[in-house]
Structures are given as C-alpha cells and as structure tokens.
Amino acid sequence: MERSTIVRVHEGLHARPATRFVKLAKAFESDVELVKDGKAVSAKSSVKLMLLAVKENQEVTVRANGADAIEAIEALIGYLENPKAGLDDDEAHAPANDAGKKAAPASQSAPAAPAEANGLRGVAASEGVAVGPAFAHFPPDIAGQGRMLQADEIAGEIDRFRAAVAAVQARMDRALAQDSLSAGERGIVAALRDIAADDSLTGEAEKAIKGGNDAVSAMITAASTIAADFSAVDDHYLNARADDVHAVGRQICLALLGQDDVSLENISQGAILIADDIGAWDLARAPLKRIGGVVCGHGGATSHIAIIARSHGIPAVLGLGDRINALRTAQEVALDGNTGQVIIDPDAATRADFASRVEAAAKERAGLAAFKTVTPKLADGKVIEVAANIGSLEEIEAAQEAGAMGVGLFRTELLFMRHMHLPSEDMQAETYAALAKAFAPYPVIVRTLDIGGDKPIAGIEFPDEENPFLGWRGIRMCLDRPDIFKRQLRALLRAAVHGNIKVMLPMVSDLGEVRQTRVLVDECAAELQAEGVPHATFDLGVMIETPAAVLIARALAKEVAFFSIGTNDLTQYIMAADRLNPTVAKLNDVTNPAVMSAIELTARAGVAAGIMVGMCGEAAGRPDLIPAFLEMGLTELSMSPASIQRAKKTITAMAAGE
C-alpha cells in the first residue's frame, strides 16, 4: 500500500524532522519505506532517511506493508503535509529549521575568508564580541588496535560493541530526561541518539567487525563512511550531519575503551573555547554560562555549535579549517562574531578595544533588559505598542525575547521567495496561524505580498521594466493576479481564527485599490463559508509609503482600520531618491522636513478619523525621532527586535519628562 504527496516540511527532512518522522514510523508494526525518485529507504532509519535528502516541495511516496499499513500511511503523510500538527507548543515554536532562531545574517553563510594581517577570519556564526584566555580543546585522536581478530574473537567483539552502543544510548537517554535541556538542545541530543541507535551506522561497524576488525577500528571506519555520504549530499543542513556521525562514533569508541572524553568542565569564566570541532554532545553538556566565546576549525552557520552558541548568546567564529592550529598555543584570543574576525594574543591596544566593546555591550544589554516587560505609556496613560518587524517564523523567539508587543510588520515575501513554487493556501494559513498564536492577544499585522520586478519570484512572470520601483509591484501586482492574491487572503481569513490577525496593503496610491481588495476579501469569506472552512474577519489597513497615499490620507482613513507608515519607501518617493543608490544617500533622509511633513500629515488625518496610526519603516526604531512621532499622534511603532528595548526606554523617559 502506498500514497504520494508533496513534502511541506520546512527545509526538508534534515536532522530534527527526520528524527520525528522515524519516531512516528517506529510506532507502527508495518515495514514502512519512503520513496524519492525511485529510491526507497526504510522510514525507520533516520540516517537513511536523511541521506535520501528529501527537500521541501519534493514529491515522495510513503509505502507500508503490514497489519497497520493504513494507519502508518495516514500518520506519515499527515506529518509530511502538516508537520506542525500534533506537536507540543515547545516544538511547534522551535525554529522551523536547524539554522536557529533567526535567519543567519548574510555573512554567516559566506565561506571563510583567507587570513588577514591582524589575525584570521572565519564564518561569523554567532554575533557579539569577546576577549579572554584561550581554552584549547583538542582531544587526542582515537586509534584502533590495528590487528586482525581471530575467528573465535569475533562474537565476543560484537557483544562488546553492542554493549558500548547501549551504554552511549543510555547516557543520551539520561541527558534527554534532564529538565534543564532547552527545546533546541533536546532536539539536537535526540538527533544524536537516533544516529547512535541507527543500524546504518552500527550495522556498518558490525560488518567490519565480522570482517576481522577490532570494534574501535570498525567504528572509526563506519563513521567515516557514513559521514562521507552526508558530506557528499548537496545540502548544507545534511553536510553538517557528518559532524554528528563522527561525534557519535567517537562516543562509542570511548565507551569501548572505557575512557571519558576530555572534559570542558574545567573551562574558566569568560574563556574562549578553541577546538577543531566540538561535538554537539560535548557542547550540550558543557558549562555554557562560563564560555566567553567559541572558535572552531569545523562548522558553519547551520552546525549545531552555531545553533547552541546563538541561543545562549555566545559569540562564535567557526569554519577556520586548518588555520585553527595557529590557535593551539594561544594564550589569549579576541573574536568578533559579527565579522568573523579572530585575533591571536592581541596586543594591549587591541585587547583594551575589545574589552571596552564587550563592557559597553554588556552594560547596554543589562540596562535595557529591564524594559523587556515594560508596557510603555505616555504621560497621559496612552499605551504605545512597540512591535516587531519580522519575515519568518524563525524570528518569533527573538521578537518575544526582546519583549515585542506583537508584530507590526510581517513581510510575507520570504515565504514566497524561499520556495520553488508559489506557497499553497494551506502552507500560508499554517504560517500565519502559527504567528497569530505565538503573539496572541497582541496583534500581528501581516502585509500582503509586496514584490516587484526587482525581486522576481518563481511562479510570477514580471515584465521587464525601466523602473521597477515605479512599476508593477505590491498591491498593483496582487490586484492583477487575483489567483495569487485570493490564495493569500483566504489563508489570512483562516488564520484569523487563531489570534489577532490584521492585514495591511503595501504601495497603496489609490482608494480604488482598497475597495477592490475589500471585494476580494468578501468573495474569499463567502467561498470559505460555502466550503464550511472556519475563518474570521480581520482589520484591513494600509501602508502609507507613497506621496499619493499621504495626499489622500483623509479619504483613506475613512475606509481602513489603521495606517502604518513605511518610511523606507515614503522617503525614497517623497525625495525622489532611490533607497538603494548610495550616490543619493544624502537625500534619502527621513529627517528631511519634506518627509517629516508627510508623516505629520498622515498622522493628523489618521488621528482625526480616530484610527490607529503606526509606523513600520526603519525610522520607527530611532530614539532620536520617536518623541517627534509620538507627539504627532502615532501609537504603534514596529521595528527590528534588536531595537525594541531601546525604544521602550525612550518612550518611558519621554513620559517621565526626561
């Protein structure tokens, strides 16, 4: 019995989803296989499953044979189509991919650059700066016995090997039973435990033992073979799994030798951990609070080390390759996790520079942290909503950590650009619903697709345009493509059942655009009603980012529930200065009186009509401008999560008359 489907698991079946899929498959008695491009593998082996390299939006077939085949297919297809269903809250809100909580900055995916005069440069994997004593962690390589076994030794060696595997699994089970593990760490240890329990790895080792190799040599060879398979796949998530296979292999070898790995227990407060590679297993047990920074030969932005470092706020530079050997004897190391710079034994001036940057950052962080839970109010008691601008579910945690009072701008473009096809209504509904649930009861303002010829996406043919910024983009394109627009509106109506969803239209320059959208929203609601699909209404607002919208703000305010001022585009259109062109950057200035007047006109029109006026352009996070915006009557400011606490502080100080 078999059924095919399109995989909707974000970024495909890499470590964590593969582990979950295997767990589901193992709950059934039937033999279950997953088939892709004619290749079938057991759905009960996460290593085999990962090596099948199933990507999001690919077609696969689930094949089952046994008494509970129907139930198995139902459950596994269900997972592939709707991976978030049935997860507990922790898992559902964990980062959707292994890359961590926030999208990696562009620099993180950049290959390591060559050495520089003042040190080394690697992959900037976790932001922040650090300077401290070096803690070199280069555990000795493990070697096998290097002799062939006699035939009568083989059975005993296999028993010894199985006992070592069982001991490693039991140790990982004990780690998983600890309450202290975060959801992310638990996922990582669970993925390692799965590799340790997988017969792809242990079976390969047993084959080598049967061939006469001692267990340690057999394990080393098997780990290299399986790791090489992972390295050969054209997918950076799966490449990072090669390190996990080596880490598991090493633990099994140590158990065979009756040795403990070199411990990180003795690392001193604020030390910089230097290693060729740190297995996720070691790192998950390391005293993370004491580690000042991490520098590694292996690893990249998607490796477990990067994930753990980012989630604990530890600056990290990874991927130095063999150049890590230059740090083996370092006494002191300075690193910049934003740029990837590593300085060995910095001179006094460099050390002082790094130390003052570390101190300033810590002081600012500590001072601002108190504002996370503050609800900023003006002197008259009016609450100002300080919300987050985000573009993916991975950023939810960073926004919540910062104390965001909802989302003031969810840019939906990434959802469309990340995929090879236009995202389905179901996938969109699931994304928007996850967002609404995460922030309820605070509002989540989702901006409808804002894309034009400068950022083409698969599935939409854009014409060649002389000037795409003045062309077929945003609401203009959406209204011309109701097939795309209605799919998004239907998804938003469905998601509105799950929280406080509001919707805003980008690039509005004419009242007709709002009216036409309303007709489409009503049409979508009527369709969903007729289909019996649960849905709810939402507030409809507009972005004010064209001069035309400013000039018709009074009329617009009568037709919409809120304004959100997009100062990035508004500035470029008011000043006729391309926001991407450095030669006119001086003109592209939000503080120019022309732009500030446009903002004030908008605010006045909104306040007079009694609707909410907010701002989601970059200027919303500027402490020097926030007082002026609030005096104009704005009551919502949406910004990148990193600016939230500072903005709350500014508003609080303003209310106190400081």
Tell me which stretch binds ligand PEP (CB under 6 A): 15-23, 28-36, 555-563, 566-574: 566-574
The token pair that represents 398 in the structure block: 């960073």
Site string for ligand PEP, 441-470 (x = CB under 6 A): ---------x--------------------
The token pair that represents 100 in the structure block: 């961590």
Site string for ligand PEP, 377-416 (x = CB under 6 A): --------------------------------x-x-----
The sheet with strand 2-6 has its strands ordered as 2-6, 59-65, 31-36, 39-42
What is the separation of C-alpha 489 from the centre of its chain, rounded to a whole number of angstroms?
Answer: 25
311 interacts with ligand PEP by CB under 6 A: no
Q: At what angle do helices 15-26 and 236-257 cross, to 10 degrees?
A: 70
Q: Kindly name the residue from 304, 312, 498, 535 that is annotated as catalytic.
A: 304
- Main-chain phi, psi angles of 336, to 5 degrees: -125, 105
12 interacts with Mg ion by CB under 5 A: no
Active site residue 478: no
Handedness of CA 391, 392, 395, 399 (dihedral sign): positive
Least Å distance between CB 407 and ligand PEP?
Answer: 12
Binds ligand PEP by CB under 6 A, chosen from 122, 566, 614, 641:
566
CB of 227 or CB of 435, closer to ligand PEP: 435
Least Å distance between CB 445 and Mg ion?
Answer: 13
Report the 3 state secondary structure along 604-625.
Answer: HHHHHHCCEEEECCHHHHCCCC
Least Å distance between CB 617 and Mg ion?
Answer: 7
> Is-contact 422 484, C-beta < 8 A?
yes
Tell me which residue has tokens 């617009």: 556
Residue 350 touches which of ligand PEP, Mg ion, none (CB < 5 to 8 A by kind)?
A: none
Q: Kindly name the residue from 253, 478, 524, 616 that is annotated as catalytic.
A: 616
Active site residue 298: no
Strand partners, 377: 383
CB of 201 or CB of 599, closer to ligand PEP: 599
Residue 411 touches which of ligand PEP, Mg ion, none (CB < 5 to 8 A by kind)?
A: ligand PEP
541 interacts with ligand PEP by CB under 6 A: no
Backbone dihedral region of 340: left (phi > 0), alpha (psi from -120 to 50 degrees) or beta? left
The count of other CB atoms within 10 Å of the CB of residue 317 is 31
Least Å distance between CB 566 and ligand PEP?
Answer: 3
The token pair that represents 233 in the structure block: 């796949």
569 interacts with Mg ion by CB under 5 A: yes
Least Å distance between CB 567 and ligand PEP?
Answer: 5
**Strand, coil or helix: what is 5?**
strand
Strand ranges, E, within 404-468: 407-411, 443-447
616 interacts with ligand PEP by CB under 6 A: yes
Tell me which stretch binds ligand PEP (CB under 6 A): 138-146, 351-359, 564-572, 592-600: 564-572
DSSP string, 543-606: EE-SHHHHHTHHHHHTT-SEEEE-HHHHHHHHHT--TT-GGGTTT--TTSHHHHHHHHHHHHHH
Burial class (CB in 10 A: 0-12, 13-18, 19+), 3: middle
- Helix H segments across 370-405? 396-402
Residue 46 touches which of ligand PEP, Mg ion, none (CB < 5 to 8 A by kind)?
A: none
CB of 567 or CB of 650, closer to Mg ion: 567
568 interacts with ligand PEP by CB under 6 A: yes
Residue 276 touches which of ligand PEP, Mg ion, none (CB < 5 to 8 A by kind)?
A: none
CB of 272 or CB of 565, closer to Mg ion: 565
Site string for Mg ion, 529-568 (x = CB under 5 A): ----------------x--------------------x--
User: If binding means CB under 5 A, how many residues of this protein chain bind Mg ion?
Assistant: 3
The token pair that represents 186 in the structure block: 């638990």
Residue type present at position 264: L
408 interacts with Mg ion by CB under 5 A: no
Residues contacting 152, CB < 8 A, separation 6+: none
Binds ligand PEP by CB under 6 A, chosen from 569, 606, 613, 648:
569
Binders in 617-636 for ligand PEP, by CB under 6 A: 617
645 interacts with ligand PEP by CB under 6 A: no
Rounded Cα–Cα distance for residues 120 and 658 (Å) = 45
Residue 171 touches which of ligand PEP, Mg ion, none (CB < 5 to 8 A by kind)?
A: none
| Contacts to Mg ion by CB under 5 A | 545, 566, 569
Task: Give the binding site for ligand PEP (CB under 6 A).
Answer: 409, 411, 450, 545, 566-569, 616-617
Which residues are part of the catalytic machinery?
304, 616
